[in-house]
Amino acid sequence: MPNVPAETIALITGANKGIGFEVATQLAQRGVFVLVGARDETRGREAVDTLLAQGLHAALVVIDVTDDDSIARAAGEIDGRYGQLDILVNNAGISGGAGGSPSEITRARMRQVYETNVFGVVAVTNALLPLLRRSAAGRIVNLSSGLGSLTLSSDPASEFGRYTYLAYQSSKVAVNAITVAYAKELRANGIKINAADPGFTATDFNNHRGYRTVEQAAVVAVRLATLPADGPTGTFQDENGPVPW
């Protein structure tokens, strides 16, 4: 198990359950102090208590990624308490509901999904970047999806070739583009940012229809969150390596 420098601090958004909670667990098991990001204080507190009961180091940060005031409060709280951040995992995401043809989608549905999955990632990243710049090894991981691969979703032979989840798929394509754009700006600062594809995973997100476990899903995000100094930036990866854009 790779180790991490002492006092490494990570914020994981949407970490009260699902893949985010497992990423928090696996990072904490590697010695990282994890800030469990949760929009609901009660659900977040329960998640933190579960980690503390395992002897892991964790604290709660209430953060709703669609709410600029909430994001600013969370950033101010982390600054005041710790003065820096080493790892940011932009995990919070919504599907916006399954099905519906592109021709039937509404502006409201598009906005709802983009508020969380796209604008939320940018707003949270920008609010936390001043703290990440103070880290000796800042790392950002954006949770993307195989559905965000244009190569795979336009290939009828791929498992993603048959889906037409316009809002969700295009939001994850945007997450990939966001990852590439930040990588260019942050390369000079030594901050690495990569997109992670966790695979189709059994969580509330898909009523537990996924065929992968959260333990498997978290592996790639944890690896990208703990990359060494010579690790990549601006990539899209699953646990086996690069995923086509």
Site for ligand NAP in 105-134 (CB under 6 A): 116
Instruction: Tell which one of 8, 125, 135, 145 touches ligand NAP (CB under 6 A).
Output: 145
Instruction: Tell which one of 92, 141, 183, 191 touches ligand NAP (CB under 6 A).
Output: 92
Instruction: Tell which one of 129, 153, 210, 235 touches ligand NAP (CB under 6 A).
Output: 210
Q: Give the angle subtended at the CA of 151 by the CAs of 171 and 198, to the nearest 5°.
A: 60
- Residue of 165, 172, 182, 192 marked catalytic: 172
Residue 131 C-beta: closest distance to ligand NAP, Å: 18
Can residue 200 be called a binding residue for ligand NAP (CB under 6 A)?
A: yes
Site for ligand NAP in 16-35 (CB under 6 A): 16-20
- Distance from C-alpha of 147 to C-alpha of 32, rounded to nearest angstrom: 30
Tell me the sheet residues that pair with 212: 201
Instruction: Tell which one of 9, 25, 28, 39 touches ligand NAP (CB under 6 A).
Output: 39
User: Any idea what DSSP says for residue 243?
Assistant: -
Can residue 167 be called a binding residue for ligand NAP (CB under 6 A)?
A: no
Tell me the sheet residues that pair with 139: 87, 192
Q: Under 8 Å CB-to-CB from 19, ≥6 apart: which residues?
A: 91, 143, 198, 201, 203, 214, 217, 218, 221
- Distance from C-alpha of 116 to C-alpha of 120, rounded to nearest angstrom: 5
Instruction: Tell which one of 26, 35, 58, 64 touches ligand NAP (CB under 6 A).
Output: 64
Residue 233 C-beta: closest distance to ligand NAP, Å: 20
* Residues found in the chain: 245
First-residue to last-residue Cα distance in the chain:
29
Q: Examine the residue annotation and report whether 168 is marked as an active-site residue of this protein.
A: yes
CB atoms within 10 A of CB 31: 16
Q: Examine the residue annotation and report whether 184 is marked as an active-site residue of this protein.
A: no
Active site members: 168, 172
Binding site for ligand NAP (CB under 6 A): 13-14, 16-20, 39-40, 43, 64-66, 91-94, 116, 143, 145, 198, 200-201, 203-206, 210
